[in-house]
Amino acid sequence: MKATETKLKGCFILEPEVFKDERGYFFESYNHKEFCEALGQEINFVQDNQSFSKKGVLRGLHFQKGEHAQAKLVSVLEGRIQDVVVDLRKNSPTFGKHLSIELNSENKKQLFVPRGFAHGFLTLSNFATVFYKCDNYYNKEAEGHIFYDDSNLKIKWKIDSRELLLSEKDSTDTGI
């Protein structure tokens, strides 16, 4: 597995070694020992989540506050997404900065998102199945979100805002 730190401190792009032949492909999507060695820290995932979304669905930007913060390992099982993370760690040199990357089922790249980040994604293909591991349990009372079109972030979403499909929660600006 190749691990490359992004411009956001502690956030990594992971690329597995994929073995292909005439039958198809095989790769190890997660190996705890190799994962922790690549990141240089111990991460213990306790919850797996999966979502299915059609084209134009934007989920996010979500985060868990305080002791309920979650690190995530995000991958795409089918389709293509624009994955976006925002560094919310006040003491971080990249506080308030964001990263946008395409994850898809072809390149098999994964994104490690450390605790203290907001996370969201936009479905670019006709549909996408997204799978992510979390190192802490979800807690509704600790939930927070940032408006996808926050004027301070200036995120360049890859689909026109008139074509986005949003939940009621994600379509409101909380002013955070």
109 neighbors 14 (Cβ within 8 angstroms): yes
Q: Rounded to whole angstroms, how far apart are CA atoms 79 and 125?
A: 6
* pLDDT > 70? residue 175: no
Residue of 62, 68, 137, 148 marked active site: 62
Q: What is the pLDDT of residue 174?
A: 64
| Burial class (CB within 10 angstroms; exposed 0-12, middle 13-18, buried 19+) of 14 | buried
Lowest mean pLDDT among 103-107, 164-168, 172-176: 172-176
What are the sequence ranges of the domains in the chain? Answer: 45-163
Q: Rounded to whole angstroms, how far apart are CA atoms 108 and 110?
A: 6
Per CATH, the number for 45-163 is 2.60.120.10
* pLDDT > 80? residue 167: yes
**Does residue 32 carry a catalytic annotation?**
no
Mean pLDDT in residue range 82-87: 98
* pLDDT > 60? residue 129: yes
* pLDDT > 60? residue 176: no
**Does residue 137 carry a catalytic annotation?**
no
Q: Which of 141, 105, 99 is nearest to 118 (CA)?
A: 99
* pLDDT > 90? residue 171: no
Mean pLDDT in residue range 86-111: 96
* pLDDT > 70? residue 91: yes
* H helix intervals, 17-105: 32-39
Give me the amino acid identity at 80. Answer: R
Per-residue pLDDT reduced to its tens digit, 11-43: 999 999 999 999 999 999 999 999 999 999 999
137 pairs with which residues across the strands?
Answer: none
Strands (E), the chain: 2-5, 12-15, 19-21, 24-26, 47-54, 58-64, 72-78, 80-87, 98-104, 110-113, 117-123, 127-134, 143-145
Confidence label for 54 from pLDDT (cuts 50, 70 and 90): very high
Residue of 132, 137, 138, 145 marked active site: 132
